[in-house]
Amino acid sequence: MCKEDILRKLTIKCFHIKEVEFGNKSNINDGKLILNKDSFKELSNEEDVIDEIKIHIIKPRDHDRYVNSIMDFIPISTKVLGKIGQGITHTLTGVYVMLTGADTDGKQMAEFGSSEGILNDKVSFGKSGTPSKDDYIIHCDVTLKSGLEFNRNLSLTIHRLCDNFIQDIRNILKSKDGRNADEKHEYYDRLRHGKKKVLIVKQIAGQGMMYDNQLFPNEPSGFTGGRSIIDLGNAPVIISPNEYRDGAIRAMT
Amino acid sequence: MGIGPSTKETTLHHFRDPLLDVVSDDKDIDLVGIAVLGTPQDNKEKYFVGGRVAQWAEALRADGVIISVDGWGNSHVDYANTIKEIGERNIPVVGLSFIGTQANFVVDNRYMDTIVDFNKSEEGIETEIVGENNVNNIDSRKALAFLKLKMNRE
């Protein structure tokens, strides 16, 4: 037995969602997530580059439908105690956010190949980075006004608006009693004395529009409050295992 | 060239990263951390950030490094250089990359002898299917097994 030192603990409590629907007031109760059907309408008016933001609830296996190019799949997680990498995080399972984007002319928010098409054909379901076929998908479809020059700022705007939308759900998830969680996972950052020391290096995008990543947002897997790897000069940033698995990286590729 | 729909790692992928799980769960490994570095546009910058991450590995007294990349083509210029910088510091290094039939390395060097190709498509190409050509548990275990071999050879 080698000697181990525990550096810090992260507890992720999962609340499983079995049903998602629109209602008058956002809420999470008994495995049911209700989205306020009016709240996101204001999102569309927040930025003048946006023509419309539509939120669709995609039921499990209801994937025979056209979607614009997929910008991201995002878990819905929130800090309840402590900062990213330690303390307590609440997360939803059974439901993930899918962000898509295009302009009114159908020009896709993508640079190096795009994934618009029938959802069933455009996603390899059940991977680490994608929902399973049995999950609900909250589809945040952003339509930009016609004729805009696609640039980094536009991409950041879309991610910010989507994050604002998710924050409403996070605020409800934050207030859930952790004792009612469906699953609880404990993770430790540790020193394993005398064992081979290994560093993982992840080379991520940092070239510009659609090639960006946000580090250390305020909320797990969020956007707001984070720092872009581009703005950090693409120089290496060391992240602890627990920070990493607590959503320290928001992909914007 | 850069990151296509099938190779990009989504935010959900980072949240449930299989490489992190495999390495952190291995009781014979002391995982010192994850160094995240960007992929700049300019060649001078590519060499700068690659050198910095290799110096981090040395400063951490790492016995080994696993480096993964979710882009290809131009991103492989950075990737090859970073592996060389790490290798020249006598630190065993194993890579993970999408290669398939489409993304053969535009540059390579003698330290790139253990690269796990995480292509999953039959044709070996960027299929534009999200999640298809991503690192999974088996790729991660292969990479760690290669690294253990290399570290034990030192």
**Torsion of the alpha carbons at A83, A84, A85 and A89, rounded to the nearest 10:** 90
Structure tokens at B70: 């979710």
Tell me the count of A-B CB pairs closer than 8 A.
Answer: 274
β-sheet with B93-97: strand ranges across: A237-239, B29-37, A196-203, B64-69, B93-97, B115-117
Please state which of the ranges A59-68, A103-112, A138-147, B129-138 shows the lowest mean pLDDT.
A103-112
- CB–CB contact B10 A220 (8 Å): no
User: Collapsing DSSP states into helix, strand and coil, what is residue B70?
Assistant: coil
User: Collapsing DSSP states into helix, strand and coil, what is residue B34?
Assistant: strand
pLDDT in tens, A2-54: 789 999 999 999 999 999 999 999 999 999 999 987 877 777 777 899 999 99
- CB–CB contact B13 A128 (8 Å): yes
- CB–CB contact B130 A123 (8 Å): yes
Q: What CA–CA distance (Å, rounded) separates A238 from B32?
A: 9
Nearest to B131 among A124, A221, A230 (CB): A124
Chain B hits for A115, Cβ within 8 Å: 5, 128-130
- CB–CB contact A221 B31 (8 Å): no
> Which residue did the predictor score with more confidence, A69 or A46?
A69
Q: What CA–CA distance (Å, rounded) separates A136 from A166?
A: 15
Reported ipTM exceeds the 0.90 cut: yes
User: Which amino acid belongs to residue A193?
Assistant: H
Mean pLDDT of A225-250: 97
Contact B32, A196 (CB under 8 A): no
- CB–CB contact A128 B134 (8 Å): yes
Q: What CA–CA distance (Å, rounded) separates B114 from A21?
A: 49
Q: Cα dist. A93→A74, A78, A179 in Å?
A: 11, 13, 16
Q: What is the mean pLDDT of chain A?
A: 95
Q: What CA–CA distance (Å, rounded) separates A212 from A155?
A: 9
Chain A hits for B52, Cβ within 8 Å: 235-236
Q: Note the pLDDT of residue A37.
A: 79
Antiparallel, parallel or unpaired: β A196-203 and B64-69: parallel
SS3 letters for chain A? CCCEEEEEEEEEEEEECCEEEEECCCEEECCEEEEECCCCHHHHHHCCCEEEEEEEEECCCCCCCEECCEEEEECCEEEEECCCCCEEEEEEECEEEEEEEEECCCCECCCCCCCCEEHHHHECCCCCCCCCCCCEEEEEEEEECCCCCCCHHHHHHHHHHHHHHHHHHHHHHHCCCHHHCCEEEEEEEEEECCCEEEEEEEECCCCECCEEEEECCCCCCCCCCCEECCCCCCCCEEECHHHHHCCCEEEEC
Q: Note the pLDDT of residue B30.
A: 98
DSSP symbol at B63: S
Q: At what angle do helices B18-25 and B137-153 cross, to 10 degrees?
A: 50
Torsion angles phi and psi, residue A170, rounded to 5: -55, -40
Q: Note the pLDDT of residue A185.
A: 98
Q: Note the pLDDT of residue B1.
A: 54
End-to-end alpha carbon distance in chain A: 43
Q: Note the pLDDT of residue B131.
A: 97
H or E element at residue B133:
none
Chain A hits for B2, Cβ within 8 Å: 111-112, 205, 207, 211
Q: How many C-beta atoms lie closer than 10 Å to residue A238's C-beta?
A: 15
Q: Note the pLDDT of residue A1.
A: 58
Q: What CA–CA distance (Å, rounded) separates B92 from B25?
A: 20
Chain A hits for B147, Cβ within 8 Å: 198
Report the gap between the CA of A215 and the closest CA in chain B (Å): 9
Nearest to B66 among A2, A198, A213 (CB): A198
- What percentage of chain A reaches a pLDDT higher than 90? 88
Tell me which residues of chain B have a pLDDT lower than 70. Answer: 1
DSSP symbol at B130: B
**Of B141, B142, B81, nearest in space to B114 by CA:** B142
